[in-house]
């Protein structure tokens, strides 16, 4: 069993638009909510992340007249998947899933609010250099290990896990507290990449 005494539970983007009926719904995304709720009391530090896009965000396909959803364009920071409009600031889709326990969270990190750059990771924008401030917060709280849950495994969870490892945290992904989108094999690729970078995988049963 993982020692949780110096561990933060990171709950990534468990928002209406990524759950059933949302604009960018992750298959079975809503199913993780009771699992995440059961995990929260086991951790001394709990952090929610929230996608928080302006309507003119450059990752939205609607802002690229000649490109459709899920196509890929080149941005100054690299390749960018173009998404359906989702998690627009202040919209119902940007709110946390109504059954998610949010009162126990110590911190909410909003990301993706800069119109010209997307932000999958809880630690950095997609340029991999503009920080969110989360790493500093966790270090101030004496956190050395990060356990990840949320949506989606192959994008925001994976980017957050890899950045956490790159920053020197010990990282664990709680498999049944995540769900993936799986665009053209992206889920298997992300899991392989995470394992290759020393990221551990457990189920919630090991923690609760």
Which positions are catalytic?
13, 111, 156
DSSP category for residue 25? P
Cβ neighbours, 10 Å, residue 102:
17
CA 148 – CA 28 distance, rounded (Å) = 17
Determine which helix (DSSP H) or strand (DSSP E) holds 44, and give its type and residue range. none
* Rounded CA separation 18/84 (Å): 11
Q: How far apart are CA 61 and CA 70, in angstroms?
A: 8
């Amino acid at each position: 069993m993982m020692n949780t005494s110096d561990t933060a539970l990171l709950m990534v983007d468990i928002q209406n638009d990524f759950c059933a009926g949302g604009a960018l719904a992750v298959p079975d995304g809503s199913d993780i909510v009771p699992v995440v709720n059961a995990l929260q009391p086991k951790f001394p530090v709990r952090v929610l992340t929230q996608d928080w896009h302006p309507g003119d965000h450059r990752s939205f396909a609607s802002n690229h007249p000649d490109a459709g959803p899920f196509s890929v364009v080149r941005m100054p920071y690299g390749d960018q998947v173009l998404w359906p409009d989702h998690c627009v600031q202040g919209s119902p889709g940007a709110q946390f899933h109504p059954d998610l326990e949010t009162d126990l969270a110590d911190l909410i990190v909003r990301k993706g609010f800069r119109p010209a750059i997307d932000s999958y990771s809880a630690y950095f924008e997609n340029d991999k250099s503009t920080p969110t401030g989360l790493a500093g917060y966790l270090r101030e709280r004496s956190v050395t290990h990060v356990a990840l849950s949320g949506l989606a495994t192959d994008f925001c969870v994976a980017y957050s896990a890899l950045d956490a490892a790159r920053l020197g945290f010990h990282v664990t992904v709680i498999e049944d507290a995540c769900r993936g989108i799986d665009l053209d094999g992206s889920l298997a690729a992300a899991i392989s990449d995470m394992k290759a970078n020393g990221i551990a995988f457990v189920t919630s049963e090991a923690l609760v």
